[in-house]
Each structure stands twice: as structure tokens, then as C-alpha cells.
Amino acid sequence: MRSDCHVHVRGDEKSEDILREMDRAGLDLVCIISSAPQSQVLEMPAKKRVSDLEDMKMMGRMVEADRERIKGFWWLDPTVPDAADLVERAVADYGCSGIKMIPNHWHVYEERFFPAYERIEKMNVPILFHTGILWGNNDCSRFCHPADLEILERFPKLRFSMAHIGWPWTDEGIAVADRFKTMARLKDGRDPEIMKDVVRRNVNVHEARYEVPIRCFGDLTPGTPAAYRREQLQLCYEVLGADALVYGTDGSSADRNLAEREKFHRERDERIFRELGVLEADIERIMGSNVLKWLGKK
Amino acid sequence: MGSTTKRSAKDAKGNGRDLGSTTRRNGNGAKRNRGLREKKGSTMRTDCHIHVRGGKCEAGPILEQMDRLKIDKMVLMGSGAAKTPAAQKKSDDELSKLCSADRRRLVGFARIEPQLAGTTDEIRRCREKLGLVGIKMLPDHWAPCDEFMHPVYKTIEAMGMPIIFHSGILWGNADSSRFCRPANYEAVIFFPKLKIALAHIGWPWVDECIAVVDRFVDMAKRDGRKSSQVWIDCTPGTPPVYRKEALRKALAVCGAPVMLYGSDLAVPGDLSIIAGRMETDIRLLRELGCKQEEIDMVLGSNLDRFLEAE
């Protein structure tokens, strides 16, 4: 299986064009992200043509053609008063499979967003959080530190991912994901190594028999410049293991050039993983099937 | 010195530097084996980061394990953050009692929650009445650079107590890691006699930790100080794949004289893991080109230098 957990769409793509491009790219599943909400339109005027509700409807039309292969992520601005209701509407009425958020001069840990997190948790869909440097939203990167996501510990059934592995704060992103996974492994109690010495916590991290449900996924979508890529993939794999990573490309459309983009990114990452000695089964999980766990489908 | 009962007044306060004695007593008064440094030609080994769990904790088994593992001295940090002034006093009293079995080897660091009422008075009591040598703090939804900390720092500085601060990712205290970034600790620059160590090499903010310490190392050289105001507590936190690189950078930038070995284990409990952990760090330091004397500083004698007042 091959998947892409991170593709932006304009909103006017046709389902048949997306599916054609997916076939050409050899993709079994793609997560498409709606365009920026109205509250951010002033900073990205060229990308916004329609209302948020119309965007939601367009997303619904795109995923309707093949709900198994096209997964819609509704881009939510949690500062709007009806954020929690919008979540429910996107998922229940328009078939969205997840929520996308970019902290735009707000912090993930602010209590005013807790009702939205609770509703997302209740709807059993994941959040795809932007983490790391941001090229839009003016001076917004400082709101996108991975450590800000620790607050999601308060929502024990909520699954989420940290896009771009938080680059340039990749170590911070790894530390946060490692924290969530290690705490779950300690609570689980099956892994003798981690029960004996938590400092050696990565020793059995690749053993399937000690795996625990993952809540915090590292989204490997670039952000990382080429010079960083190999080292970051190695660190993510060594510390977090294959079960905590999902693959994406950050494409800007789903109906054109998907195959070319996939070929470039996927071939590079798979080559790096093989050079690092990662097992084919683990590559398959990272590049393909883990997304199903993140989506709550497996 | 033949035993704890014959210590000088200075040593009784936990300030002792002399490890030259040949006989020690455990908490029950029985003669103990010698620490490693006391053997002719042997090397001092210390651990700056051992937690004391709440509840019953006896010094005897700790000292016995230290003898077996050839650990000369350990920093024991009081049990978890207190929620009330009464709980704070209880934690400090218990730690003092534990360390009183052998204050030269069991170095008590009060685990202080600085937002509690009466914190500065309690810090003075820890030093003057309880013989505790240092302070351990962990920012829990407060930042080390918050202004409310200034009187706390001022008191600790006046008492000549070093602080071991948690820095880096935190697995407890809910979403508190963001308060533990190394750069937040630059605030101690306003208290020049205060000495602190940043635990866990600040991981995942190792570079930030090294940058902060390097700044203070450089300042110490310029100001002619005995040692840097800010040190690196190398206690893990670093996952194994990060460890060597973190040590390499710390050595290259800040240098062995400001690095302390710690294990992050807890008592009561089995301390035997320390041996393997020390071996790993010694191997890594050797691979990084450290001389034996530098290794001995990091895993041994630096702790005494850290405890010295400026």
C-alpha cells in the first residue's frame, strides 16, 4: 500500500481527475486538505474564492466519489465561535475523515479550544497540525512549536500528527511523539526493557509484539530541506519506530502532477530508508498503511 | 575523619569536601566499606541526579549499593513537587534525615516548588537548619525567567546553594515542557553568585542548552570566575541515538569542566543500572577523544566543584 497523508487542494478539483492522478502515482489513499478558512484569507487572498461552508461542500463532493481512497481533511480555524459544530458538520454531513489546523497567532494549548478538541475526539477523527516553520501567516512560526501539542494529553482518545516533523524543531517533535509513545508503553507494561530502564526506551521500539496504540504521529511531509532529510528520517525511525510515522508530500493540488511529485519524494525517502537498513515491511507501514491507524480505520 | 560522628561543623552542614577517610558508617552506625576514591590510586565517581521517592527511604541500603557500585557521592533530590507549605517542609525534613546518615556522600538537594507561600523562608531553613546543600526545581507552568523568581534566586544565592534545574522534555506535569527550554534560564545572569546546572542537556533542545552554557562559560573566563555560573547536567533524557552527538557537542563547545554525570534513577530502588550507564558514557567519552582526567572530571570530581560557592 502507498498513501500520502498531506496534499492541499484548491477545492474545485474533480474526483475523477484526483483518482486518475492517484492511479498514475500508484497511490492507494490520499488525504486532501481544504483551502484556508476565511479568517486567514487576507493573508492568502489568491487561494480563497469561496466561503468556508462552500469549501466544506466542495470537499464533500471530492471525497464522495471514493471514500476509501480519498480522505478529506477540513481546515478548521478553532477561534471561530462555532468551531466545534463546524467539526461535527464536516465529519457527519460531508464525510470528512480528519481536521487540519495551523496555529495562526494562537497557541494549541489555549483552553478556549478545548471544546473543539473534545468534539474532534468524540467524532473519532485525527487532527493534522502544522508544526515547524511557516511560510504563510506572517510571523506565525513561533506558534507552531511541537511542544505546544503536549496539551493533547488531556484528550486521551484524540489522535493527531505533527506535520513536517516540526522542522526546524525536529528534535522537539521527536521528543513530543516519544513522550506520548513511551508513556503509553510504560502504562502498557509488556516491554521488559522499558520497564527495566526507560533511558534505553528505544531498544524494543521496533518489536511488533510490544507495540501500543499510537496517538501522536510524526508526519514526515517535507519541510525538511534536502540536506536534513536523511538525518531526520533516521532519528525519527530510531527513536519513534515505524508504527509512529506517516508519509506525505505537501502537494498543492491533487488533480495534476501528483505522480511526478510522488515519484520524487517517495523514491527519495524509500531509498534513504533502505540505505538505513529499514525493513521492507516497515517501509510499507510508513509509506502506506500507517495512515489507516492514524485515521482510526485499523 | 573516622566516621560521621567525628565530622567537623562544616561537614555536618553537608559542605564537606574531604573524601580521604578510610572508614564510614551507614545509617545504622555500622562501619562501611570505603568509597572508591579512598582506595589508593582509584577514581572518584559521583552521580548528580538521583530522585528520592516519597515514603519510607532508608540510607543504609543506598550506601550499601553505593559501596558495591563504587559511587562516592550522590545528589539526592527531594520527593515530588509539594502542593502545600506543609508538604514542602515534610519533603525537606525527610530528605535531611536521609542524608544525615552520611552527608559527605548523600548530598541533599531540596525539591522546591517556588510558587508556594513562604518559599524563601523554607530555603533558608533547608540550608541553615536542615543541612541541605542545594535546590532542585522543575518549572511547572511557571518559567524560570518569571519575575516572581527573583526573590527566590536572591535567597538561594545568599545561601550559597547550587540549583539543578530540569530542562528539556518533561514526561510529567501535563503540558509543561515548553516552560523548560534552556534559554529561559538565562535569567540567572542577574544573580552572579548563583550556580545552576541544566539537566538532561536540555534534550530535545541540546543546541539551545549548549548555547546558554557556552555563553556563561565565556563570561566566567572574562570575569575571572572560579567556574561557570551555568553547568550541564548530562543525565539522560537523550535517547540512545542522540547521546554521543549531544556529548560531542557539549565537550567541543562548553568543555568537560562544566559537565556533570547523572543517572536519573530513584531511591529506594535498584541502582545497579548506574554501572552500565556509566560504562556507556565512559566509552562514548573515550570515543570522542576525552583524556582519562576529563572523564574523571565529568563522572567524578566536577560535582565537588559544582557544589563550591563562587
- 8 Å CB contact between A5 and A248: yes
Confidence of residue A44 (pLDDT cuts 50, 70, 90): low
Q: Express each pLDDT in B258-299 by its tens digit.
A: 999 999 999 999 999 999 999 999 999 999 999 999 999 999
Return d(Cα B123, Cα B82) in angstroms, integer: 14
Q: How far is A151 from chain B (nearest CA, A)?
A: 5
What pLDDT, on the 0 to 100 scale, is given for residue B40? 46
Asked if pLDDT for residue A237 goes beyond 90, the answer is: yes
Domain B43-307 has CATH 3.40.50.1240: no
Q: Which residue has the cell 560521621?
A: B4
- Nearest CA to B206 out of B173, B240, B181 is that of B181
A66: CB partners within 8 A, 6+ apart? A15, A19
- 8 Å CB contact between A137 and A40: yes
Mean pLDDT in residue range B52-73: 94
Report chain B residues whose CB lies below 8 A from the CB of A114. none
Confidence of residue B34 (pLDDT cuts 50, 70, 90): very low
Chain B residue with minimal CA distance to A168?
B205
Contact B205 A171 (CB under 8 A): yes
Mean pLDDT in residue range B68-85: 93
What pLDDT, on the 0 to 100 scale, is given for residue A11? 87
Contact A200 B264 (CB under 8 A): no
Contact B242 A182 (CB under 8 A): no
- Nearest CA to A134 out of A126, A143, A125 is that of A143
Q: Express each pLDDT in A107-137 by its tens digit.
A: 999 999 999 999 999 999 999 999 999 987 7
Q: Express each pLDDT in B200-252 by its tens digit.
A: 999 999 999 999 999 999 999 999 999 999 999 999 999 999 999 999 999 99
Helix pair angle (B119-128, B85-99), 10° resolution: 10
Q: How far is B49 from chain A (nearest CA, A)?
A: 14
Among A86-90, A205-209, B92-96, B259-263, which is the least confidently predicted range?
A205-209
Asked if pLDDT for residue A189 goes beyond 50, the answer is: yes
Asked if pLDDT for residue A65 goes beyond 80, the answer is: yes
Where does chain A have alpha helices with state H? 15-25, 52-64, 83-88, 114-123, 170-188, 192-196, 226-240, 258-275, 280-284, 290-295
Contact A147 B240 (CB under 8 A): no
Report chain B residues whose CB lies below 8 A from the CB of A236. none
Contact A183 B175 (CB under 8 A): no
The number of distinct structural domains making up chain A is 1
Name the residue range of residue A42's domain. Answer: 3-295
- Nearest CA to A290 out of A231, A230, A237 is that of A237
Q: Domains of chain B: which residue ranges? A: 43-307
What pLDDT, on the 0 to 100 scale, is given for residue B19? 26
User: Which of B205, B241, B273 is closest, CB to CB, to A239?
Assistant: B241
Contact B178 A171 (CB under 8 A): no
Q: Express each pLDDT in B139-185 by its tens digit.
A: 999 999 999 999 999 999 999 999 999 999 999 888 999 999 999 99
Report chain B residues whose CB lies below 8 A from the CB of A171. 203-206, 242
Here the CATH number for the domain that contains residue A160 is 3.20.20.140
Chain B residue with minimal CA distance to A201?
B239
- Nearest CA to A144 out of A214, A86, A223 is that of A223
Contact B240 A196 (CB under 8 A): no
Asked if pLDDT for residue B305 goes beyond 60, the answer is: yes
Q: What is the ipTM of this complex?
A: 0.90
Report the DSSP beta bridge partners of residue B260: B233
What pLDDT, on the 0 to 100 scale, is given for residue A48? 57
Asked if pLDDT for residue B29 goes beyond 80, the answer is: no
Report chain B residues whose CB lies below 8 A from the CB of A237. none
Contact B204 A179 (CB under 8 A): no
Q: How far is B192 from chain A (nearest CA, A)?
A: 30
- 8 Å CB contact between B132 and B92: yes
Contact A175 B177 (CB under 8 A): yes
Question: 3-class secondary structure for chain B?
Answer: CCCHHHCCHHHHCCCCCCCCCCCEECCCCCEECCCHHHCCCCCCCEEEEEEECCCCCCHHHHHHHHHHHCCCEEEEECCCCCCCHHHHHHHHHHHHHHHCCCCCCEEEEEECCCCCCCHHHHHHHHHHCCCCCEEEECCCCCCCCCCCHHHHHHHHHHHCCCEEECCCCCCCCCCCHHHHCHHHHHHHHHCCCCCEEEHHHHCCCHHHHHHHHHHHHHHHHHHCCCCCCEEEECCCCCCHHHHHHHHHHHHHHCCHHHEECCCCEEECCCCCHHHHHHHHHHHHHHHCCCCHHHHHHHHHHHHHHHHCCC
* Mean per-residue pLDDT over chain A, rounded: 94
Q: Express each pLDDT in B280-290 by its tens digit.
A: 999 999 999 99
Confidence of residue B41 (pLDDT cuts 50, 70, 90): low
What pLDDT, on the 0 to 100 scale, is given for residue B27? 38
Contact A145 B178 (CB under 8 A): yes
Contact A178 B239 (CB under 8 A): yes
Report CA torsion sign: A176, B217, B44, B80.
Answer: negative
Enter the C-alpha cell of residue A143: 506558534
Contact B204 A201 (CB under 8 A): no
Report the DSSP beta bridge partners of residue A219: A246
Mean pLDDT in residue range A7-25: 93
Q: How far is A34 from chain B (nearest CA, A)?
A: 29
Enumerate chain A positions whose Cβ falls within 8 A of a Cβ in B: 109, 145, 147-148, 150-151, 153-154, 169, 171-172, 174-176, 178-179, 182-183, 196-197, 199-203, 234-235, 238-239
User: Which of B171, B204, B277 is closest, CB to CB, to A172?
Assistant: B204
Report chain B residues whose CB lies below 8 A from the CB of A238. 239, 241
Asked if pLDDT for residue A87 goes beyond 60, the answer is: yes
Report chain B residues whose CB lies below 8 A from the CB of A178. 169, 239
Chain A residue with minimal CA distance to B242?
A235
B-interface mutation test, from A153, A174, A199, A201, most B Cβ less than 10 A away: A199
A-interface mutation test, from B49, B141, B175, most A Cβ less than 10 A away: B175
A173: CB partners within 8 A, 6+ apart? A131, A132, A146, A162, A165, A166, A167, A218
Asked if pLDDT for residue A243 goes beyond 80, the answer is: yes
User: Which of B174, B203, B240 is closest, CB to CB, to A202?
Assistant: B240
Mean pLDDT in residue range A58-75: 95
